[in-house]
Amino acid sequence: MVLNAFVPHLAATLFLRRYAPGLLTGLLLLVPVNSILLAQAIASGDLNWRQLAGSTIVVAGALLGLLPVLFGLGRWATRGKRRG
């Protein structure tokens, strides 16, 4: 979630030169809270850097793999609806 605030939300904002939805929530809420939780987990020994890196790669891969499915569901859910 910490990385997600920066890529794609911050990257999209900079690239498109306009606000990307989710950027402020990510930067003001998710980054601070999750950074504190990760720091505490590492300091207590409940999590190490190798576990963090491994889980980040697995979760990021799974979510990237789901993107086509989720976009397809979005198209299916909105088909036939006209913009007003």
Q: What is the model's pLDDT at position 81?
A: 73
For residue 84, what pLDDT band results from cuts at 50, 70 and 90?
A: low
Q: Looking only at Cα atoms, what is the longest distance across the chain?
A: 54
Number of Cβ within 10 Å of residue 38's Cβ equals 14
Q: What is the model's pLDDT at position 39?
A: 95
Average pLDDT value for residue range 60-81:
90
What average pLDDT does the chain have? Answer: 90
Average pLDDT value for residue range 6-24:
90
CB neighbour list of residue 35: distance below 8 Å, 6 or more residues apart: 2
Cα distance between residue 6 and residue 13, in whole Å = 10
Whether residue 32 has a cis bond before it, omega within 30° of 0? no
